[in-house]
Structure 1
């Protein structure tokens, strides 16, 4: 049986996600896939559900979750969401910059200077968009 490279890569990515989710509770599946060498373009357009602790609430409907601060752009956040809460986020994977230098001042209004610089300085990365976010547990 002959499998196309795309089908094989997609199957490998799916197996990787299934296999690594239980291995490291601190990182999100999306972060693990990104660090594993699986090309992120294989995940773009896919629907994923991620769970993790809220590390930052960065802007209206933008949060960072998990040890590697996976960015989630939500349709709506739970009203009483706080840093430290465990959440489940389901959305579509995209790969792009979230914050630009133009966002630096706005980020400083909701976080400290060092954290604002961190998020403005990030390169294009896999993120979750159009996400539904609920508190876990």
Structure 2
């Protein structure tokens, strides 16, 4: 990544297309994962409805409740990631992709390789995580 005359990160067109394709592929993979999780969730709910027992008194009820909650949490994470990918696509289109939203410094390429939707550099992400604790 280079910087343009405004000091903003410039993603060269060939690299920009590669980034766009990576984000699109991540989006598609996450959408597929969400579809599979939705099917799993529906199967858990359906199986539970056929038995018609409550979670508290059924010996397997607690594991069923755990499975349902686990799949619901994975679905929520996938929805959040889709939103992050959409924002990353917006940043790419506006020329802000690869620039930390907090401090304005470039986001290291290694971080973007691992987390293509990352809006912040490692330092700002660490500080944000510390504040949440």
TM-score (norm 1): 0.24
Higher helix proportion (structure 1 or 2): 2
TM-score for the superposition, normalised by structure 2: 0.24
Q: Which has the higher strand share?
A: 1
Bigger radius of gyration:
2
